[in-house]
Structure 1
Amino acid sequence: MNFKSLKRAVSVSLAALFVAGAVAGCGGGEKKDAGSAQKPAAGQTVKINFPTASASGALYAVGAAITNMWNQNVPGVNAASQASAGGIANLGMVADGEAQVSIAISSNCYQALNGTDSFKDHAFKDFRAIGGLYMNPNQVVVTKASGISKLSDVKGKHFAVASAGSSVYNECQTHFTAAGLNFPDDMKCEYITFTDAADMLQNGSIDGAWIMSGAPASAVSQALTANCTLVNIDDAVLKALKEKYPWYAPYTIPAGTYPNQDKDVQTSAIKMVMFTRADMPEDVVYNLTKSFWEHIDELGASQKNLKGLKPADAVKDIANLPLHPGAEKYYKEIGVLK
C-alpha cells in the first residue's frame, strides 16, 4: 500500500468514527435493505465537517447557513462549516474522509466521480449527491481602460485566474480555449483570490479577473464601484462549451444586479451540487436532505443564492450524478422521483 492509499484508508476509518451514530429516532422507523449503510447507534452525535470556499465568497456564507440550520433542526447533528480552497479541494477532502458533506460545481463532481481532468488517476467512486442547488455563474470583470469587450480580447492582458488547478482556473481554461486562445500562455496570469483581484481591479494593476460565484458577488460589486464592467460571453462560445461539456447552461445577470450595471449580461453557469460519501449512513443523509428542503424558505431569506430553490429541481442538470440512497429516499417520498 502506497502512502496515498494508506492516508485514504486512515481517513476513511476516521470518517467512519466521525459519523458513527445519530440520536434515537433519526432513522424514521424504517428498516434498511440488506447491504445499505449500517444504522447509527442511538445516543451518539453525528459530526459533520462542511468545507466551502474562501471566507470572502458567497459559498462560505451558504455553507454556514446550512450547517447552522442543521444544528438547530436535526437532533443529534453537530455540523460546522469551514473556509477552504473551493470545490476541487472540497471533493478531495470528502473523498479522503477529512470532511463529510460539501458543495462543488457539477462539472467537478462529474470529473471526480469518473477520474478525469484534475482527478485523473484519483477517481472518487464513492461520490454521492444530496441534490443540486443553485446555478453558479461565471463573471468576467474587466477595467474599462483595458479595452476588453469579449473573451478573445484578453489575449496579452494581465488577468486574474485564481489558483492553478482550482475550479475557477479550470473555467478559465475551458472558456478561453473555446474563445480561440491558448490558455494560459496567451495572457499574463495572476493567481490570486477574488478579494485580491477586486482590490487590483480597483487600483488598475490588472486588466481583468474571472470570478465564479453566485450573483451578486461581493468581489464583483467592489470592482464595479470602480471603473470596471462585466463582459458578455457570446453565443458562439456558449455553443462550443455546451457541445463539449453538457453541464453548462446560459445565464443572464440582470441589469441592476451590481453598481453601475445598466444592461443584462450574458454568461455561462453550472449548477452547484451538495454531496457526501456513499458510506454516510442512509438515515443521516435522509434527515439532512429532508431538513434542508423543509427549511429552504428561511435559508433563502438569509442567503440570496438559496432563494426560490425547489426540491423538484434538485435532480435536474446535475450531469447524471448518482444520488445517495438517503437523499433518493426523500425525493421518492415527496414525489420528485418514482
Structure 2
Amino acid sequence: MKTLIAASSLALLSTTAFAQERITYKSAKTTSSYYQMGVQIAEAMRKGTDGGVVVTVEESQGSVQNVMEVRARGGDYVFTTPPALVGLAQDGKAMFEGKGDPAFANIRALFPIPSLTMHFVVSDASGITSFEEMEGKTILLGSGSFGASEGAKYLGLFGLEGKVKLSDSELSNAVAALKNGQIDGFVTAGSYPAPNVIEAAASTGVTVLSLSGDQIATTKRTPLTIPAGTYAGQDADISTTSLPVVAYTTTAMSDDTAYMLTKTFWEQKEGMGSAAAWWNGLSTDMISNISREIHPGAIRYYQEVAAPLTDAHR
C-alpha cells in the first residue's frame, strides 16, 4: 500500500511539473518602468494561472538586443519591442542590415503593453503654454534615451532648433531643476502616468503641452491622448505622440501557450491597473498598433472577445 501511495504521489508530482509552463520575459533595464511592468506581468501570470505559468524576468539593454536574441531562443521566449523594429528586422533594414536571420520571420505578437508617451513638461512659472513659447527658454532633454532623441527631433520639426537653451543635465535631475528654477521645462518619454511627471505636477505647478493635429502628423508617430485628471492640475485632455510597445514571441511557442498567456494577461489587466495606473490606458483596440502577424494562439483569444483584427495580423 505504501508503495502504491508513493507511486501515485510521484505520478502527481510529475504531472504537475510537466503542466507548469516556464517563460522567460525580456524587457528593459532594471531601472526602467518597463522592467517593473515585466515584474507585474510575471506576478499576474502566476496569479491568473494558479502557478501554472512561471515567468522569469530578464534585464535587457534595449529593444534591438531583445529582437536579436530570437536567433538563439526557443518557444519559452517572450520579449518587448516597438513593432517598427520587428519590421526592420524582418526586412533586414537599418540596424539589422547585414544581420538578417531566418528566425526573424517567425516573430509573432502576443499583446500590446503601455506605449512610450511623449511629455513636454513646463513649469507654470515659465509662462509657456505652447511650443512656440519655448523659444529662449531652458529645456532639459537628457541624453541617450528615446525621449531625448525624439524631443530634439520635435524641436527641429517645429522650428525651434537653435532657439531653445538645452540644459546639460541628466533627466534624473529634471524635477529638482524645475522646482528651483534652473530649467523652464523638460522632455520625457514613458508610459503614462510617468512617475517624474507625477512628482513634478504634485510638487510645483506644471503644464504638459498638447500637440496640434498638424504637429502630430508631422512627427509621423502614433497619436495618443492623456486623459484629463491624469496629473495634478490637468483639467483637459493632452494630445501627444507615442511609440507603441508590444510583447512578442515566435512560432516556436505552442498555440495553447500563446493563448493562455494572452488570455491571462487581459484578464489580469484590471488587477494590474489597481497597482499601477499605466495599465489603465490599455485596451484591445491597441492591437491596431501591431503592424504584422499575431501568434495564432493569441488570435484565438482575440477572436473570442471580438477584438479588431486585420488581414496583416493573420
Q: What is the TM-score when the length of structure 1 is the normalising length?
A: 0.68
Q: 1:221 aligns with which of 195, 198, 210?
A: 198
Unmatched 5+ residue regions in structure 1? Answer: 1-22, 26-40
Question: Aligned to 1:232, what secondary structure does the other structure show?
Answer: coil
**Aligned position for 2:178:** 201
Pairing 1:237–2:215 present = yes
Mapped pair 1:315 → 2:287: yes
Q: Rate the CA distance shift 1:128–1:207 in 2: closer, same or farther, 3 A.
A: farther
Which amino acid is 1:261 matched to?
Answer: Q
1:81 to 57, 67, 87: 57
Listed as ranges, the matches of 1:65-80 within 5 Å are 65-74=40-49, 75-80=51-56
Shift of 1:192: 3.0
Of Structure 1 and Structure 2, the greater helix share is in: 2
Q: CA deviation at 1:291?
A: 1.4
Q: One-letter code of the match for 1:226?
A: T
Which residue, 209, 216, 223 being the options, matches 1:249? Answer: 223
What RMSD in Å do the two structures reach over aligned CA positions?
Answer: 3.6
For residue 43 of structure 2, give the secondary structure of its aligned residue in structure 1.
helix
Q: What is the number of residues matched between the two proteins? A: 287
1:326 aligns with 2:303: no
Secondary structure, in 3 states, of the residue corresponding to 1:206? coil
Partners of 2:286 and 2:206 in 1: how far apart?
A: 35
- Give 1 or 2 for the bigger CA radius of gyration: 2
Tell me the distance in 2 between the aligned counterparts of 1:314 and 1:264.
19
> In the alignment, what sits opposite 2:120?
140
Deviation at 1:150, TM superposition (A): 3.1
**Native 8 Å contact 1:129 1:322 kept in 2:** yes
Could you tell me the TM-score, scaled by structure 2's length?
0.73
Q: How far has the Cα of 1:217 moved from its partner? A: 1.8
Equivalent residue for 1:31?
Answer: none
Specify whether residues 94 and 277 from structure 1 end up closer, same or farther in structure 2 by C-alpha distance, changes over 3 A only.
farther
What displacement does 1:48 show?
1.1
Cα–Cα, structure 1 residues 301 and 42, in superposed 2: closer, same or farther, change >3 Å?
same
Q: Provide the C-alpha distance between the structure 2 equivalents of 1:49 and 1:141, rounded to a whole number of angstroms.
A: 32
Match of 1:301 among 274, 294, 301: 274
Structure 1 segment 1-338 matched on structure 2, within 5 A? 42=18, 45-52=21-28, 55=31, 57=33, 59-74=34-49, 75-81=51-57, 89-97=62-70, 100-116=77-93, 122=99, 125-154=105-134, 157-164=137-144, 166-182=145-161, 187-188=165-166, 190=168, 192-193=170-171, 195-224=172-201, 225-241=203-219, 245=220, 247-254=221-228, 256-307=229-280, 309-311=282-284, 313-318=285-290, 320-336=291-307, 337=309
CA positional deviation for 1:289: 1.0
Distance change in 2, residues 1:289/1:209 (3 Å): same
